[in-house]
Amino acid sequence: MNLITRAEWHAKKPTSAYVRLASTEGVKIHYTGGKVPADLADPGNHDRCVDLVQDIQRMHMSGGRGEKYIDVGYNMVCCPHRRTFVGRGPHALPAANGAGLNSGHYAVLALVGSSGLTEPNDDLLNALVDAIEYLREHGDAGREVKGHRDGYDTSCPGDPLYRWIRDGAERP
């Protein structure tokens, strides 16, 4: 897999220690919910994925989701160039699934949105499977792969990704 470490994407340090998770039932998949540039998946545009992940971390840590998070809310972030960014990483409680739902599943963000780039390409789907396998191997994630909307009132992760999850979240 093409793992991008926190040092490589110039992540800010978390403002306090993560709550440790020994294991989870599995993984929940998310999308950004906003507009993602329609041409983000173009081969030359990966630098913009890095910018986007930095923006999301900044937004989460500055209180854009209502409270200031100690770090980006996701454990991993996947982009349409088959790269997987380390967010909080394995064995850390995420802050993306909704209150009371974070200890059950790791949170993985796919860089697609509700407008612009809305359809995951094959590289993004492969990166998501890479992230799921990584969290199983390094974070004792269980077999479940679900969407944010499972158990929480949200459109996340969007219909195209949710269809893929319901179809078994397999490599294309």
Q: Which residues bind Zn ion (CB under 5 A)?
A: 30, 46, 49, 79, 81, 148, 156
> In this complex, which beta carbon is closest to Zn ion, that of residue 92 or of residue 156?
156
> In this complex, which beta carbon is closest to Zn ion, that of residue 22 or of residue 49?
49
Shortest gap between Cβ of 167 and Zn ion (angstroms)? 19
Shortest gap between Cβ of 66 and Zn ion (angstroms)? 14
> In this complex, which beta carbon is closest to Zn ion, that of residue 88 or of residue 148?
148
Shortest gap between Cβ of 96 and Zn ion (angstroms)? 6
Cα–Cα distance, 136 to 131 (Å, whole number)? 9
- DSSP conformation letters of 127-154: HHHHHHHHHHHHH-EEEEEEETTTTSSS
As given in the structure block, the two tokens for residue 111 are: 């860089």
> In this complex, which beta carbon is closest to Zn ion, that of residue 89 or of residue 157?
157
Shortest gap between Cβ of 68 and Zn ion (angstroms)? 18
Closest CA to 92 of 5, 18, 15, 4: 18
Cα–Cα distance, 170 to 152 (Å, whole number)? 23
Cα–Cα distance, 99 to 97 (Å, whole number)? 7
